[in-house]
Amino acid sequence: MDYYLERTQNPLILKDLKRQGLEAKKGREITCRCEKTFPIQDMYRCFYCGVYFCLECAEIHFGQSREEYDKIKL
């Protein structure tokens, strides 16, 4: 998490990283940007920014759905 904190200048990403970092240290659930809370294993983490997203928010962040991604990868 520190790696991502050092790299970003975006205040929205910094806010999410700090909040999610504290949550990850406390337990197994993380709050997504949409304010819903999920178990960490059900979240999707962006390789580039480090923020965790629920499935719905991940599809928006990554620009494609799981089905679209699977079609490309298969």
pLDDT along the chain (74 residues), means of 10: 82 93 92 96 94 95 87 77
pLDDT at residue 22 in the model: 93
pLDDT at residue 34 in the model: 96
Residue labelled with tokens 């960490």:
40
pLDDT at residue 1 in the model: 62
pLDDT at residue 73 in the model: 75
Q: Cβ-count burial of 51 within 10 angstroms (0-12 exposed, 13-18 middle, 19+ buried)?
A: buried
Q: Total structural domains in the chain?
A: 1
Q: Which domain holds residue 55?
A: 2-73
pLDDT at residue 69 in the model: 80
* Stated pTM of the model: 0.82
